[in-house]
């Protein structure tokens, strides 16, 4: 009612201020759906992206949709079930990534591999938007899925390799390979050859594996994720999306700022009891967590995952070529292996055999 009056009397600044304050109160009371709607009315794109990025991060860390279905408020459930029905283009765009991630995990847990594969490829394409071309990381390019989530999404691909029946079409395989090429090129261009070991994608990927190895450490891992990610980006003279979003909250009063900092760093809504209750159709981390124990991991976890995915896709493309699919040739198989990057080695094949579905 108040917002309608503000609109009627042409008070845009008051309208925005009231909508943002109300959205903050709704978010503090865990009414995610309503808070997103009012942040949308306030035109606060950064806050909408921040909330949904946190939810995506939590989901990827747990390898399960978070919050679980029984904890979604009715408004949020409606938004996720039909994001295209939302009038605000910004909110609809930002919801698409998180909705696709939930769709992937839901399909996985129902054992629907084809549907899960399609959703996963869409997520990887989205993560590749900010690194398109491989010349660097474009933080100004909007994408509902952050580029540094790409490593974990590629980890999810591992469970689709070496299967009796291929779940990914040739076109989808080539799209994923393009994102891999762009991401690795952008990371090297931004952080340097040795910076790959400290980039945000590597850090987040390691935390997801550590979360599987010791679930009780999840709150601590999330608490450290913001500072470690920001330091790696700052070292190259570039602010991360996490830091930009945090700066948007500096105009809050002291109490609200403390609450926001705790929420950003701690992800306190993840409890030990909830971790024990998570049931998954499969978990890619089960077959990869052992690589954390290797004393000398060539290129880090990210490059190891990329090596395995590329080798697996090379085999899939080779099969497709032999079966006469599309216009595949030897060049496509060579690109999948990753000539020039050193990914096509025997070590990748050995590692791939350890993947557990």
**4-8, 97-101, 172-176, 227-231: which has the minimum mean pLDDT?**
227-231
Average model confidence (pLDDT) across the chain: 76
Residue range 201-221: mean pLDDT, rounded: 83
Three-class secondary structure assignment of the chain: CHHHHHHHCCCHHHHHHHHHHHHHHHHHCCCHHHHHHHHHHCCCHHHHHHHHHHHHHHHHHHCCCCCCHHHCCHHHHHHHHCHHHCCCHHHHHHHHHHHHHHHHHHHHHCCCHHHHHHHHHHHHHHHCHHHCCCCCCCCCCCCCCCHHHHHHHHHHHHHHCCCCCCCCCHHHHHHHHHHHHHHHHHHHHHHCCHHHHHCHHHHHHHHHHHHHHCHHHHHHHHHHHHHHHHHHHHCCCCCCHHHHHHHCCCCCCHHHHHHHHHHHHHCCCCCHHHHHHCCCCCCHHHHCHHHHHCCCCCCHHHHHHHHHHHHHHHHHHHHHHHCCCCCCCHHHHHHHHCCCCCCCCHHHHHHHCCCCC
Q: Residue 148: is its pLDDT beyond 90?
A: yes
Give the chain's domain count.
1
Residue range 206-232: mean pLDDT, rounded: 66
Q: For 257-307, how does the pLDDT look when each residue is reduced to its tens digit (9 = 90+)? A: 444 444 443 334 455 555 656 788 999 999 888 887 765 566 689 989 999
Name the percent of the chain lying above pLDDT 70.
67
- Which residues span the domain enclosing 265? 2-352
CB neighbourhood size of 46 (10 A): 16
Provide the pLDDT for residue 271.
56
Residue range 162-188: mean pLDDT, rounded: 90
Residue range 317-339: mean pLDDT, rounded: 64
Q: Residue 244: is its pLDDT beyond 90?
A: no
Q: Is residue 269 part of a domain?
A: yes
Provide the pLDDT for residue 12.
67
Q: For 40-89, how does the pLDDT look when each residue is reduced to its tens digit (9 = 90+)? A: 988 899 999 999 999 999 899 889 998 888 889 999 999 998 876 667 88
Q: Residue 335: is its pLDDT beyond 90?
A: no
Name the percent of the chain lying above pLDDT 90.
35
Residue range 31-48: mean pLDDT, rounded: 91
Q: Residue 173: is its pLDDT beyond 90?
A: yes
**19-23, 110-114, 186-190, 237-241: which has the minimum mean pLDDT?**
237-241
Q: Residue 310: is its pLDDT beyond 90?
A: yes
Q: Is residue 357 part of a domain?
A: no
Q: Is residue 242 part of a domain?
A: yes
Q: Is residue 272 part of a domain?
A: yes
Q: Is residue 197 part of a domain?
A: yes
Residue range 16-24: mean pLDDT, rounded: 82
Q: Is residue 303 part of a domain?
A: yes
Q: Is residue 26 part of a domain?
A: yes
Provide the pLDDT for residue 273.
57
Nearest Cα to 119, choosing from 98, 140, 94, 135?
98
pTM score: 0.80
Residue range 99-104: mean pLDDT, rounded: 96
Q: CA 186 to CA 178: how far, in whole Å?
A: 12
Judge contact between 307 and 341, C-beta under 8 A.
no
Q: Is residue 316 part of a domain?
A: yes
């Amino acid at each position: 009612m108040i917002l309608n009056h503000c609109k009627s009397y042409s008070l845009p600044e008051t309208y925005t201020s009231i909508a943002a304050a109300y959205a903050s109160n709704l978010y503090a009371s865990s009414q995610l759906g309503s808070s997103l709607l009012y942040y949308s009315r306030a035109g606060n794109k950064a806050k909408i992206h921040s909330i949904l990025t946190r939810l995506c991060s939590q989901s990827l860390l747990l390898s399960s949709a978070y919050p679980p279905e029984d904890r979604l408020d009715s408004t949020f459930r409606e938004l996720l079930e039909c994001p295209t029905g939302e009038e605000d283009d910004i909110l609809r765009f930002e919801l698409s990534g998180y909705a696709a991630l939930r769709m992937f995990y839901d399909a996985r847990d129902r054992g629907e591999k084809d549907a899960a594969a399609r959703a996963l490829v869409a997520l990887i394409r989205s993560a590749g938007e900010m690194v398109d071309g491989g010349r660097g990381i474009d933080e100004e390019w909007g994408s509902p899925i952050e580029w540094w989530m790409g490593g974990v999404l590629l980890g999810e691909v591992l469970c689709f390799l070496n299967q009796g029946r291929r779940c990914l079409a040739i076109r989808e395989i080539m799209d994923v390979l393009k994102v891999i090429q762009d991401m690795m090129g952008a990371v090297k261009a931004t952080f340097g050859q040795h910076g790959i070991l400290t980039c945000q994608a590597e850090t987040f990927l390691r935390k997801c594996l550590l979360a599987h190895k010791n679930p009780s450490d999840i709150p601590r891992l999330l608490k450290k994720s913001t500072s470690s990610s920001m330091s790696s980006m700052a070292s190259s003279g570039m602010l991360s999306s996490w830091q930009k979003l945090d700066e948007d909250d500096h105009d809050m009063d002291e109490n609200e700022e403390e609450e926001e900092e705790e929420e950003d760093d701690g992800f306190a809504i993840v409890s030990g009891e909830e971790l024990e209750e998570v049931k998954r159709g499969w978990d890619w981390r089960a077959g990869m967590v052992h690589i954390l124990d290797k004393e000398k991991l060539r290129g880090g976890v990210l490059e190891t995952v990329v090596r395995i995915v590329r080798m697996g896709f090379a085999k899939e493309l080779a099969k497709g070529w032999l079966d006469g699919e599309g216009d595949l040739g030897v060049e496509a198989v060579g690109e999948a292996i990753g000539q020039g990057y050193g990914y096509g080695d025997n070590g990748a094949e050995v590692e791939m055999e350890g993947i557990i579905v």
